[in-house]
Amino acid sequence: MVALLLALALLSSCGDMFVEEDLFQRPEAKRCSDCHAEVFKEWEKSRHAVAWKSEKFRLESENYTKNKCLSCHAPHQVDPQIKPLLRAEFKEDGVSCVACHFKEETKAMHGPHKVWSPPHPSRQDLSYSKSSFCAGCHQETYKEWHITKAQTSCQDCHMPSLGNKRLVQKFPFEYFHSKKTRHDHSFPAGIAKPEDIKVELEQAETIRLKITNVGVPHNLPTADQGDPKLYIVVEALFENGETSRFVKVLSYQAKNALVYGVPTYIDLPWREFKALKVSLQRRLSWKEERERILEVAF
Ligand code: HEC
Ligand code: HEC
Ligand code: HEC
Ligand code: HEC
Ligand code: HEC
């Protein structure tokens, strides 16, 4: 009883009917961490958090002077399938909490759940769980995904569920709210599993590889402006004991990425071999090192 009264007293000391006015003034992302500490910690590690301040973006946007480049890297408001406008404040927050959740029309935070949130009004908005939410910026990837008719959404793979957790970490308020599904705000790129890519060998005049993306419902690699790469490295051993190496690089820029469900054929420069090792490696746009996806021997 005493605890409840104390809690109520604390709640009502929170100003004007609990509402925290500055939350409507488009604060910086750090402000949201006062209550949403865990979501903030994940987002802070994400590429969205560095979309504006990354050195590569600064250079390629010619020190933020190329206007057509700016809006997706510091958006004002994200709406499904609409390319966003450029934000005026806190651009260094990149693709920020306020941009993705605050709507000018309702002056409320929109999100996937039905919540009671005294510090700021919230609206349940089912568009948050759909791929179209990401489409205004990830335009090419969205188009690729759409034609695969995949049942899984961008969020299923790039904002995976973390199970039921509290959305706020602020004593004592967190205990007034039930646990709800949380989604990983570090927006992991993930990595294809070996079974996502089928590698077959066909032997005719020369030898050729038949490679099919059967598991990732967009191109591999996929990009709008970044330059991720997929390396196909083939090592051959011949009867006479000699060896040879062949490398093919696939990218969005070279327009030779693996399309979901459509085989890509790669002619190898040899007529015969004793043993062949094929390995697939990927390099994310913002990473130096390559990571291995699979290795098969023939
Ligand atoms: C329609 C929205 C949109 C516009 C406009 C846009 N970008 Fe991007 N940009 C993205 C998205 C989405 C990504 C995420 C990776 C990908 O899909 O390529 C990205 C990623 C990048 C990256 C890769 C980051 C890294 O560290 O590798 C760079 C660099 C970049 N953009 C530069 C630019 C430049 C330069 C322009 C203007 C010519 C521009 N962007 C315009 C949406 C956009
Ligand atoms: C003073 C505490 C506090 C601050 C600061 C705060 N929130 Fe919240 N927020 C809440 C509470 C409480 C809930 C409801 C939690 C629940 O029901 O589990 C909530 C819920 C939400 C939801 C969930 C809506 C849904 O439908 O799923 C979103 C999105 C959200 N807040 C965004 C933000 C953003 C963005 C900021 C920063 C601009 C922010 N919040 C700052 C307390 C806060
Ligand atoms: C306002 C534009 C915008 C929206 C909306 C957006 N993104 Fe992004 N996203 C970007 C930009 C820009 C980058 C690249 C940032 C960088 O690397 O510098 C990016 C990067 C990413 C990456 C990292 C890719 C990598 O190379 O590691 C993933 C994954 C991602 N976004 C998923 C999503 C998902 C899922 C959604 C929808 C829930 C979404 N994004 C909505 C602009 C956006
Ligand atoms: C690129 C857009 C984007 C950014 C940036 C973003 N969110 Fe979200 N957020 C989403 C989407 C989409 C969902 C719903 C995911 C789903 O339902 O699959 C979500 C869900 C939530 C929820 C409900 C609980 C959950 O995990 O599903 C809260 C609370 C929330 N976000 C707060 C924040 C805060 C605070 C920040 C900044 C630290 C932030 N978000 C940054 C897109 C974003
Ligand atoms: C079934 C799971 C799945 C779905 C659905 C999915 N992706 Fe991916 N995505 C992946 C995997 C796995 C990778 C890593 C590929 C690799 O090995 O490099 C990836 C990579 C990416 C990358 C990083 C660039 C690259 O090629 O590595 C971006 C950006 C991206 N996805 C955006 C999206 C968007 C936007 C959507 C929705 C339109 C989406 N993804 C739907 C699984 C998925």
Query: How confident is the model over 18-50, as pLDDT tens digits?
Result: 789 899 999 999 999 999 999 999 999 999 999
From the CA of 204, how far away is ligand 5's center (Å)?
34
Lowest mean pLDDT among 66-75, 131-140, 153-162, 196-205: 196-205
Say if residues 218 and 275 touch (Cβ distance below 8 Å).
Answer: no
Question: What is the structure's pLDDT at 204?
Answer: 79
The C-alpha atoms of residue 194 and residue 276 are separated, in whole angstroms, by 18
Give per-residue pLDDT as tens, 119-178. 999 999 999 999 999 999 999 999 999 999 999 999 999 999 999 999 999 988 888 999
| Residues, the chain | 298
Site to probe by mutation for ligand 5, drawn from 133, 153, 218 as the one with most ligand atoms within 8 Å of Cβ, is: 218
Give per-residue pLDDT as tens, 12-24. 444 445 789 899 9
62 CB burial (10 A radius; 0-12, 13-18, 19+): exposed
Say if residues 73 and 86 touch (Cβ distance below 8 Å).
Answer: no
From the CA of 119, how far away is ligand 2's center (Å)?
8
**Could you tell me which of 177, 75, 79 has the C-alpha nearest to residue 134?**
79
Is 253 close to ligand 1, i.e. is its CB under 6 Å away? no
The C-alpha atoms of residue 83 and residue 81 are separated, in whole angstroms, by 7
Is 147 close to ligand 5, i.e. is its CB under 6 Å away? no
Give per-residue pLDDT as tens, 92-104. 999 999 999 999 9
Is 119 close to ligand 5, i.e. is its CB under 6 Å away? no
Is 229 close to ligand 1, i.e. is its CB under 6 Å away? no
